[in-house]
Amino acid sequence: MPRLVLVRGLPGSGKSTYAKSLSIHHVEADMYFVNKHGTYQFNPHKLHQAHRWCQGQTEQLLKNGQDVVVSNTFVEHWEMAPYLEMATYFNVDVEVVVCTGNFTSIHDVPKSTIKKMKFKWQD
């Protein structure tokens, strides 16, 4: 039976590193912002599109019976809801992993933004 792993945590907590270590299909909204040359170009105005893209990629992989790991911040529980609904629809096992490392954010997320996210964090 396929499985869906949701990896959540603040920027710099080790989400992407952990997700890559699982050796299954890895999807995250940040991938939407990587151009054809491999350069990350974040655009806050396209964040909603990035998350819709991530959900679409996940849905397609689950539909094809693949194991998927999604690593996004998932600061608030509602952010995981579309993925949990997909898991129910496709009848796949779900595992939620919380990363709590304190590393440098690979995308240079400002400390003020991380502080706001930490304040909104839902266990």
Supply the CATH number for residue 73's domain.
3.40.50.300
Q: pLDDT band for position 105 (50/70/90)? A: confident
Residue 73 lies in domain: 3-120
Q: pTM of the prediction? A: 0.93
Please choose, from the candidates 34, 101, 41, 98, the residue with its C-alpha nearest in 3D space to the C-alpha of residue 71.
Answer: 98
Nearest alpha-carbon partner for 113 in 16, 10, 27: 10
| The pLDDT value given to residue 7 | 98
Residue 108 has pLDDT above 90, yes or no: no
Domain count, the chain: 1
Compute the average pLDDT of residues 10-35: 95
At 58 the pLDDT is 99
User: DSSP secondary structure string, 3-49?
Assistant: EEEEEE--TTSSHHHHHHHT-SEEE-GGGGGB-TTS-B---GGGHHH
User: What tens digit of pLDDT does each residue of 42-51 get?
Assistant: 999 999 999 9
54 confidence band (pLDDT: 50, 70, 90): very high
pLDDT of residue 107: 77
If you average pLDDT over every residue of the chain, what do you get?
95
CA-CA-CA-CA dihedral for 55, 24, 34, 60, to nearest 10: -30
Q: Which residue has the higher pLDDT, 121 or 105?
A: 121
